[in-house]
């Protein structure tokens, strides 16, 4: 599959930059209501959570108040080391795991999987099927993010960012739309938190921008970093009151699960699949049409069903009628 973020995937390594780690705490935190919503998504017992791409634990640490155990996974060891030193990071409920969500050793099952602004760095056609295997019967994947809110300096900031970014070819995209397009995710619900007002010094606001992969100081020369900070100060100071910027933060949570092929739902796990049309036969019933298809696993072109396997297709459902 074509991953819409792969052209910038090398930037994931920027989260191992010490300059990014040192400033990461200055990025806006998720509003407290975020964790109330996540808590409501947990149905099964035990209340164990897998947090992927956890960074310094901005999801995992506050969530310890609601759950029994959290496995928090990140590829960046410096992020995990910092997470342990922050409030809640020393909780015995959290197990910090260094590795990739795609293949790190875990101890399932989990009642919830969370991904806080991290899923776009991962191999979707690997992690989505894996999450489905790790989750309990009522478990879901919850994608957590900060919802952009209008600020008067936004247009000026975007112009500055474009001049200094280390990934100028990046084009923003809607993760959920892309996941659904590739039939990897089925959205079951979404909510936004109430708006929370945040005040931050101009200096800290600028430093928080360097906690983003595309503006890591490790990718800038000293002259570039100085110029970026100077331009940002000139942009922001007119909007500051006594040196403080005030802006709103809203948390967004979208939850759902992997879309499984019908055979997998019937207990036959498949990683990727396709149906090849072989023949058809019209039914007198206008709501039903019979087709003969052949199923194969992509990459392993061996039929999973014989050619006379018959599916009934109607406007409401598809199911296997017979297997030869």
* CATH code, domain carrying 193: 3.40.50.150
Q: Count of alpha carbons within 13 Å of 245, Cβ hemisphere only?
A: 23
Same domain, 108 and 122: yes
pLDDT the model gives residue 285:
41
Classify strands 244-257 and 196-201 as parallel, antiparallel or unpaired. Answer: antiparallel
Same domain, 174 and 44: yes
Q: Name the residue range of residue 168's domain.
A: 6-257
Same domain, 229 and 278: no
Same domain, 307 and 166: no
Same domain, 189 and 246: yes
Least Cα distance to 64 among 93, 42, 105 occurs for: 93
pLDDT the model gives residue 210:
95
Same domain, 178 and 304: no
Same domain, 272 and 240: no
- Does 41 map to a domain? yes
Q: Is 240 exposed, middle or buried (0-12, 13-18, 19+ CB in 10 A)?
A: middle
pLDDT the model gives residue 11:
61
pLDDT the model gives residue 292:
41
Same domain, 301 and 242: no
Domain boundary among 205, 234, 257: 257
Least Cα distance to 49 among 272, 261, 260, 255 occurs for: 255
pLDDT the model gives residue 10:
53
Domain boundary among 222, 240, 257: 257
- Does 38 map to a domain? yes
Domain boundary among 234, 257, 280: 257
Same domain, 246 and 273: no
Total domain count for the chain? 2
Same domain, 249 and 266: no
Contact 164, 228 (CB under 8 A): yes
Q: Tokens 């990727």 label which residue?
A: 272
Q: Is the pTM of this model over 0.85?
A: no
Contact 128, 258 (CB under 8 A): yes
Mapping DSSP onto H, E and C, the string for 202-265 reads HHHHHHHHCCCHHHCHHHCCHHHHHHHHHHHHHHHHHHCECCEEEEEEEEEEEEEECCCCHHHH
Contact 188, 257 (CB under 8 A): yes
- Does 1 map to a domain? no
Give dist(CA 317, CA 187) in Å, integer.
Answer: 18
Classify strands 69-74 and 94-98 as parallel, antiparallel or unpaired. Answer: parallel
pLDDT the model gives residue 169:
79
Give dist(CA 323, CA 271) in Å, integer.
Answer: 21
pLDDT along the chain (324 residues), means of 10: 50 77 94 98 97 96 97 96 95 97 96 92 89 95 94 96 88 80 89 97 97 90 97 98 96 88 46 42 41 41 38 32 31
pLDDT the model gives residue 138:
95
Cis peptide before 80 (omega within 30 of 0): no
Same domain, 247 and 269: no
- Does 78 map to a domain? yes
Helix (H, G, I), strand (E, B) or coil at 148: coil
Same domain, 280 and 246: no
């Amino acid at each position: 599959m074509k991953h819409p973020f792969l052209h910038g995937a090398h930037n994931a390594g920027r989260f191992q930059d010490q300059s990014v780690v040192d400033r990461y705490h200055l990025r806006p935190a998720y509003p407290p209501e975020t964790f109330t919503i996540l808590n409501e998504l947990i149905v099964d017992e035990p209340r164990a959570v897998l947090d992927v791409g956890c960074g310094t634990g901005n999801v995992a640490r506050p969530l310890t108040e609601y759950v029994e155990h959290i496995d928090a996974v990140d590829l960046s060891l410096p992020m995990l080391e910092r997470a342990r030193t922050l409030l809640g990071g020393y909780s015995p409920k959290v197990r910090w795991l260094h590795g990739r969500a795609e293949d790190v050793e875990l101890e399932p099952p989990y009642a919830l999987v969370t991904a806080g602004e991290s899923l776009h760095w991962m191999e979707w056609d690997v992690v989505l099927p894996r999450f489905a295997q790790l989750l309990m019967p009522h478990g879901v994947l919850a994608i957590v993010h900060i919802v952009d809110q209008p600020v008067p300096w936004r247009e000026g900031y975007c112009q500055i960012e474009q001049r200094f970014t280390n990934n100028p070819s990046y084009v923003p995209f809607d993760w959920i739309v892309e996941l659904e397009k590739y039939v990897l995710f089925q959205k079951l619900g979404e909510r936004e938190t109430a708006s929370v007002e945040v005040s931050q010094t101009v200096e800290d606001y600028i430093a928080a921008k360097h906690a983003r992969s595309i503006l890591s100081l490790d990718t800038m020369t000293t002259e570039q970093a100085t110029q970026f900070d100077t331009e940002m100060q000139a942009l922001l100071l007119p909007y500051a009151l006594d040196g403080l910027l005030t802006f709103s933060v809203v948390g967004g949570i979208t939850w759902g699960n992997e879309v499984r092929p019908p055979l997998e739902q019937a207990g036959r796990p498949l990683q990727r699949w396709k149906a090849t049309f072989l023949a058809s036969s019209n039914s007198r019933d206008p709501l039903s049409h019979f087709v003969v298809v052949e199923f194969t696993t992509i990459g392993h072109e061996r039929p999973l069903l014989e050619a006379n396997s018959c599916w009934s297709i109607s406007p409401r459902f598809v199911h296997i009628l017979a297997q030869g």
